[in-house]
């Protein structure tokens, strides 16, 4: 067993389908107890990587370790620690919610009274309590996603692999699902989720991996990536109390570290190339010249901007 | 704990789920309805027969009527089994795939074996349920006399065996199909010929002879026990192999996927060899014809193995796989895994199956007329027998050549093609030289004679009918040293040695002292995966964002 804080370790992973290299020598770690976003355009290799992690696909080379165990040598042990939710949730038409959960509990070797208590726990967590007798087929897409998540939680896995869990959900279901994922993190689970909807991921993810054409183009905590992306340049937005009568642009041009990006009424935006503390000079310069600053805020790149900067849109 | 073992061995959770879902499906209702229609039809036939008997003034119910009813019913049952059950079985796994539930199942604690066993027993249970729906009525019919209840029960058991086989092959067909359409198209492909045979046999037996299939089989066993044994064991083995194949098809481990295929190839050659030995030997009286036929059979049957021999090296053979810590079946099956030296050894193992064909003792006195020199004929037989083994060694030499090319990095098809073409060109060259220069007989130039055994065979066999070849035949016959066999042995040694050298040079050793997996034989990892350590420092592998964004 590995003593590393990483629950998931991917090393030099490559998977090909004929001549197509779906995943090309990628490596990354995911730490315990975090929500890790796995982002990439269609055909980038997200689902292939997820399938290898979930013991469903054999790689050409490289390896994946979950909790220190290789997915190829210990697939059964890994399945007991891992909950997998595929991008297309399959349901058995004809089974009720309770029967569905009962079957998956038996399939995960949970018997007797333990089975009952585990089912009631996951039902409570996922909010399926009122739907136990409903046929799975009649559930809405959001509820099916919840049901599938419930079945992945039955064996109390440490790591949850969710492939596009929010796709096709309406806004309410999306928000509810997001809350559910945050609740899982509070319970100490590690969540590895892929998604196209970046605005959904940025508020909940602790770290991300961005993949394109089978290669990881960025990996790490979101703040770290943002810092690296900024390359020492920080954006600020300033709002003045009154419309400036004088030429602010000429005034600010005195500061060599400042690059003015936009002026619109009382607002203007600039980039500061240097230590963030140096921005005080802007405040000072404006105050000396009679400008009253109403607010000044630091602007950070959001996940969408990072994604757009790092990816080229190339498909395999 | 006991419950868990039961669930693990039989796949009980899968059986429960499949049976529960099947009961709710419309198709299930249709199958039951069809079965009841069959029974209704049979009873209607019985009633018609009953009426006609009354009009003829005969007794109310004759024993002959019962036999007719039972035979008709059993035929209809075979018909339903052969027409409906393959489709029921053929959709078992593909349905899971099309409903997108398959990947969920594969990430549960159920092993591939448990999944397949569960699917299989669920299918057999469904089929048995349908068959047993009408069984009480049949038992009532037999109580009227004319048919032994025991015979009917045995016949039912035979039908159950057929159902068990259909379900096994159906599960394999379903595991093979990636999509539902593939399963629908594949099922008739798998079942068409065997099912047509069964229906024809059942029709002939039940309707034509008014007898039982089991009786026919017993009769077949009495007439020819060995043929009966071969047929029954082939039936049982194909069912077991189908289930094993299905398990390995759904297993994500690469090397295992080749296991059932290799096992199937071995079984195919084994049965072909056994059948050849049994039937050809008894049906070809002349020693001359016998060795000609078996030599051609070995030459023809051995060549498809070129592709296996020339396969990619892949995984080295682990010496530890033969250690006592591995169970005996696992040690035996190690030879059936692909890669490295095993490719060649597997081909040689199959060639060994042909050895008995050359050891058959032919009676020279029955082959030739009495006034012929017996010692001469015996010498002819010995020579032909030697020639047969020359062909065997020639096939082994070509296989070694293909294996060597495979170790050099050629693909399996390329290796097979090149190895075969080189020998074909040698054969053609020898033919051209022999025709062009009359004195250029292989016998006088052993170095040429050795190159192409098939050429020698053609030439020598041809010499008995074509007088112009007589000289060559005589001379070759009289030579005491079989140079071609020696040459072929030399080729085997040289190409095997070269192959070993190349593989070592390419850092792909043929043998490894490392165990291929902690879990034993059944996980056969590519070397590069096993070598990678999970504690590699990632810092050096992080992409340079500034570089990448440019």
Which whole number is the average pLDDT over A112-140? 90
Which whole number is the average pLDDT over B134-154? 79
Please report which confidence band the pLDDT of residue B527 belongs to, taking 50, 70 and 90 as the band edges: very low
Residues 6+ apart with CB under 8 A from A97: A128, A131, A132, A133, A134, A136, A139, A147
Exposure b/e, B190-204, CB count within 10 A at least 16 = b: bbeebbeebbeebee
On the 0-12 / 13-18 / 19+ scale of CB atoms within 10 A, A297 is exposed
Which of B100, B525, B533 lies at the smallest CB-CB distance from A88?
B100
Residue-range domain boundaries for chain B: 2-253, 288-359+376-531
Which whole number is the average pLDDT over B472-495? 66
Give CA A110 to chain center in angstroms: 31
Q: How far apart are CA B58 and CA A125, in angstroms?
A: 77
B546–A103 C-beta distance less than 8 A: no
Please report which confidence band the pLDDT of residue B413 belongs to, taking 50, 70 and 90 as the band edges: confident
pLDDT for B315 equals 61
- Percentage of chain A lying above the pLDDT 90 cut: 25
B253–A58 C-beta distance less than 8 A: yes
Q: How far apart are CA A118 and CA A100, in angstroms?
A: 14
Residue A192: pLDDT above 90? yes
Nearest 5°: the CA angle A201, A205, A211 is: 70
pLDDT for B539 equals 43
pLDDT for A98 equals 93
Q: Which of A168-172, A187-191, B111-115, B370-374 has the lowest mean pLDDT?
A: B370-374
Residue B480: pLDDT above 60? no
Which of A92, A225, A229 lies at the smallest CB-CB distance from B99?
A92
Residues 6+ apart with CB under 8 A from B128: B160, B163
Asked if B28 has any chain A CB less than 8 Å from its own CB, the reply is: no
pLDDT for B60 equals 56
Asked if B106 has any chain A CB less than 8 Å from its own CB, the reply is: yes
Could you tell me which of B320, B315, B343 has the C-alpha nearest to residue B330? Answer: B320
Asked if A217 has any chain B CB less than 8 Å from its own CB, the reply is: yes
Inter-CA distances, B218 with B50, B70, B212, B214, B248, Å: 32, 20, 10, 6, 35
B518–A27 C-beta distance less than 8 A: no
Mean pLDDT (chain B) is: 74
Please report which confidence band the pLDDT of residue B6 belongs to, taking 50, 70 and 90 as the band edges: confident
Asked if A53 has any chain B CB less than 8 Å from its own CB, the reply is: no
Q: Which residue of A has its CA nearest to B540?
A: A27
Identify which has the larger pLDDT, B304 or A310.
B304
Residue B287: pLDDT above 90? no
A218–B517 C-beta distance less than 8 A: no
Which whole number is the average pLDDT over B467-481? 45
Residue B167: pLDDT above 90? yes
Residue A190 token pair? 């590690």
DSSP for B344-391?
HHHHHHHHHTTHHHHSPPP-HHHHS-TTS-HHHHHHHHHHHHHHHHHH
Q: How many Cβ pairs within 8 Å bridge chains A and B?
A: 141
- Residue numbers in A near B16 (CB within 8 A): 103, 106
Identify which has the larger pLDDT, B65 or B502.
B502
- The ipTM assigned to this model is 0.77
pLDDT for A122 equals 92
Please report which confidence band the pLDDT of residue B319 belongs to, taking 50, 70 and 90 as the band edges: low
Q: How far apart are CA A185 and CA A34, in angstroms?
A: 7
Kind and range of the H or E run holding B201: helix B180-202
Residue B549: pLDDT above 70? no
- Percentage of chain B lying above the pLDDT 70 cut: 67
Q: Which of B7, B258, B526, B545 to mutate to test the interface with A (most CBs of A within 10 A)?
A: B545
Q: Which of B525, B526, B534 to mutate to test the interface with A (most CBs of A within 10 A)?
A: B534
Asked if B438 has any chain A CB less than 8 Å from its own CB, the reply is: no
pLDDT for A300 equals 64
Residue B535: pLDDT above 80? no
Residues 6+ apart with CB under 8 A from B66: B141, B142, B144, B145, B146, B147
Please report which confidence band the pLDDT of residue B133 belongs to, taking 50, 70 and 90 as the band edges: confident
Identify which has the larger pLDDT, B411 or B541.
B411
pLDDT for A119 equals 94
Which whole number is the average pLDDT over B125-145? 81
pLDDT for B526 equals 38
**Domains recognised in chain A with CATH numbers:** 6-220 (3.40.50.300), 231-299 (3.30.70)
Which of B107, B110, B518 lies at the smallest CB-CB distance from A56?
B107
Which whole number is the average pLDDT over B265-281? 80
pLDDT for B248 equals 76
Q: Which residue of A has its CA nearest to B256?
A: A58
Q: How far apart are CA A101 and CA A120, in angstroms?
A: 10
B17–A72 C-beta distance less than 8 A: no
Please report which confidence band the pLDDT of residue B463 belongs to, taking 50, 70 and 90 as the band edges: low
Structural contact between residues B91 and B188, judged by C-beta atoms closer than 8 angstroms: no
pLDDT for A26 equals 92
A76–B111 C-beta distance less than 8 A: yes
Which is it for the CA torsion A46, A50, A51, A57, positive or negative? positive
- Residue numbers in B near A9 (CB within 8 A): 534
Structural contact between residues A132 and B33, judged by C-beta atoms closer than 8 angstroms: no
B538–A27 C-beta distance less than 8 A: yes
Which whole number is the average pLDDT over B207-217? 84
Please report which confidence band the pLDDT of residue B438 belongs to, taking 50, 70 and 90 as the band edges: low
Identify which has the larger pLDDT, A235 or B326.
A235
Residue B332: pLDDT above 90? no
Asked if A312 has any chain B CB less than 8 Å from its own CB, the reply is: no
Which whole number is the average pLDDT over A220-232? 72
Please report which confidence band the pLDDT of residue A302 belongs to, taking 50, 70 and 90 as the band edges: low
- Residue numbers in B near A310 (CB within 8 A): 545, 548-549
Structural contact between residues B246 and B92, judged by C-beta atoms closer than 8 angstroms: no
Q: Which of A17, A58, A218, A310 to mutate to test the interface with B (most CBs of B within 10 A)?
A: A58
Identify which has the larger pLDDT, A50 or B245.
A50
Per-residue pLDDT tens digits for A8-20: 999 989 888 767 8
Q: How far apart are CA B270 and CA A229, in angstroms?
A: 66
Residue ranges of A 150-169 with Cβ closer than 8 A to chain B: 151, 155
Could you tell me which of A8, A177, A173 has the C-alpha nearest to residue A78? Answer: A8
B546–A95 C-beta distance less than 8 A: no
Q: How many residues in chain A?
A: 316
Structural contact between residues B212 and B81, judged by C-beta atoms closer than 8 angstroms: no
A89–B106 C-beta distance less than 8 A: no
Q: How far does the CA of residue A262 sit from the closest CA of chain B (Å)?
A: 24
pLDDT for B163 equals 93
Could you tell me which of B196, B166, B384, B211 has the C-alpha nearest to residue B284? Answer: B384
A109–B109 C-beta distance less than 8 A: yes
- Percentage of chain B lying above the pLDDT 90 cut: 9
Per-residue pLDDT tens digits for B60-81: 556 667 777 788 888 888 888 8
- Residue numbers in A near B538 (CB within 8 A): 27-29
Residue A163 token pair? 């492939």
Asked if B365 has any chain A CB less than 8 Å from its own CB, the reply is: no
- Residue numbers in A near B14 (CB within 8 A): 107
Please report which confidence band the pLDDT of residue B431 belongs to, taking 50, 70 and 90 as the band edges: low
């Amino acid at each position: 067993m590995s003593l590393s804080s990483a629950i998931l370790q991917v090393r030099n992973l490559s998977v090909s389908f004929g001549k197509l290299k779906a995943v090309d020598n990628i490596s990354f770690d995911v730490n315990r107890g975090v929500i890790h976003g796995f982002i990439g355009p269609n055909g980038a290799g997200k689902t292939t990587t997820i399938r290898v992690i979930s013991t469903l696909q054999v790689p050409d080379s490289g390896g994946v370790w979950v909790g220190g165990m290789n997915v190829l040598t210990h697939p059964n042990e890994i399945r007991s620690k891992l909950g997998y939710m595929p991008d297309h949730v399959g349901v058995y038409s004809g089974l009720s919610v309770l029967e569905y959960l009962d079957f998956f509990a038996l399939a995960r070797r949970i018997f007797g009274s333990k089975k009952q208590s585990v089912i009631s726990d996951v039902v409570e967590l996922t909010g399926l309590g009122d739907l136990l007798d409903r046929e799975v087929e009649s559930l809405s897409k959001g509820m099916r996603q919840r049901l599938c998540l419930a079945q992945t939680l039955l064996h109390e896995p440490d790591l949850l692999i969710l492939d596009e869990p929010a796709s096709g959900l309406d806004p309410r279901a999306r928000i509810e699902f997001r809350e559910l994922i945050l609740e899982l993190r509070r319970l100490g689970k590690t969540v590895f989720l892929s998604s196209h909807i970046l605005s959904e991921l940025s508020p909940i993810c602790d770290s991300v991996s961005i993949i394109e054409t089978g290669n990881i183009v960025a990996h790490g905590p979101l703040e770290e990536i943002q810092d690296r992306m900024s390359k020492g340049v920080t954006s600020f937005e300033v709002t003045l109390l009154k419309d400036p009568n004088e030429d602010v642009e000429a005034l600010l041009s005195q500061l060599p570290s400042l690059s003015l990006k936009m002026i619109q009424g009382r607002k203007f935006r600039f980039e500061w190339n240097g230590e963030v503390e140096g921005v005080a000079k802007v405040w000072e310069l404006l105050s000396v010249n009679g400008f009253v600053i109403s607010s000044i805020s630091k602007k950070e790149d959001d996940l969408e901007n990072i994604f757009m900067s790092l990816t080229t849109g190339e498909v395999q | 704990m006991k419950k868990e073992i039961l669930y693990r061995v039989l796949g009980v959770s899968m059986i429960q789920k499949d049976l529960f879902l099947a009961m709710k499906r419309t198709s299930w209702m249709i199958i039951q309805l069809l079965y009841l229609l069959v029974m209704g039809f049979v009873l209607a036939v019985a009633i018609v027969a009953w009426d006609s008997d009354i009009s003829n003034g005969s007794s109310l119910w004759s024993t002959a009527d019962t036999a007719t009813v039972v035979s008709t019913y059993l035929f209809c049952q075979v018909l339903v089994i052969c027409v409906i059950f393959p489709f029921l079985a053929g959709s078992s796994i593909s349905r899971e795939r099309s409903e997108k539930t398959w990947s969920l199942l594969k990430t549960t604690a159920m092993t591939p074996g448990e999944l397949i066993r569960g699917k299989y027993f669920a299918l057999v249970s469904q089929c048995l349920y349908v068959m047993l729906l009408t069984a009480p009525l049949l038992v009532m019919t037999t109580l009227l006399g004319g048919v032994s209840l025991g015979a009917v029960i045995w016949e039912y058991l035979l039908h159950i065996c057929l159902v068990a086989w259909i379900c096994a092959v159906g599960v394999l067909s379903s595991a093979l199909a990636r999509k539902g359409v593939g399963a629908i198209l594949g099922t008739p492909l798998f079942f068409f010929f065997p099912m047509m045979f069964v229906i024809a046999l059942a029709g002939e037996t039940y309707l034509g002879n008014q007898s039982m299939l089991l009786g026919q089989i017993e009769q077949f066993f009495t007439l020819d026990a060995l043929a009966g044994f071969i047929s029954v064991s082939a039936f049982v083995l194909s069912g077991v192999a189908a289930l094993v194949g299905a398990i390995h098809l759904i297993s994500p481990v690469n090397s295992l996927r080749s296991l059932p295929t290799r096992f199937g190839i071995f079984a195919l050659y084994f049965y072909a060899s056994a059948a050849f030995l049994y039937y050809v030997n008894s049906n070809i009286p002349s020693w001359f014809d016998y060795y000609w036929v078996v030599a051609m059979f070995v030459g023809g049957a051995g060549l498809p193995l070129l592709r296996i021999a020339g396969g990619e090296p892949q995984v080295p053979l682990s010496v530890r796989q033969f250690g006592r810590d591995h169970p005996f079946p696992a040690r035996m099956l190690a030879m059936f895994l692909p890669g490295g030296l095993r490719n060649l050894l597997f081909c040689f193992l199959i060639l060994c199956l042909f050895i008995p064909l050359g050891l058959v003792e032919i009676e020279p006195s029955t082959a030739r007329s009495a006034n012929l020199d017996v010692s001469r004929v015996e010498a002819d037989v010995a020579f032909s027998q030697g020639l047969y083994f020359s062909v065997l060694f020639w096939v082994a030499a070509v296989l070694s050549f293909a294996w060597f090319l495979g170790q050099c990095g050629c693909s399996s098809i390329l290796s097979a093609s090149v190895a075969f073409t080189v020998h074909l060109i040698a054969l053609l060259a020898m033919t051209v030289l022999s025709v062009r220069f009359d004195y250029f007989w292989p016998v006088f130039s052993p170095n040429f004679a050795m190159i192409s055994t098939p050429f020698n065979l053609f030439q020598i066999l041809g010499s008995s009918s074509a007088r112009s070849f007589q000289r060559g035949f005589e001379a070759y016959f009289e030579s005491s040293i079989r140079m071609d066999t020696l040459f072929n042995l030399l080729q085997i040694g040289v190409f095997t040695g070269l192959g070993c050298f190349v593989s070592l040079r390419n850092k792909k050793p043929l043998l490894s002292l490392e165990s291929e997996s902690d879990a034993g034989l059944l996980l056969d990892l590519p070397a590069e995966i096993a070598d990678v350590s999970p504690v590699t420092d990632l810092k050096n592998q992080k992409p340079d964002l500034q570089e990448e964004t440019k």
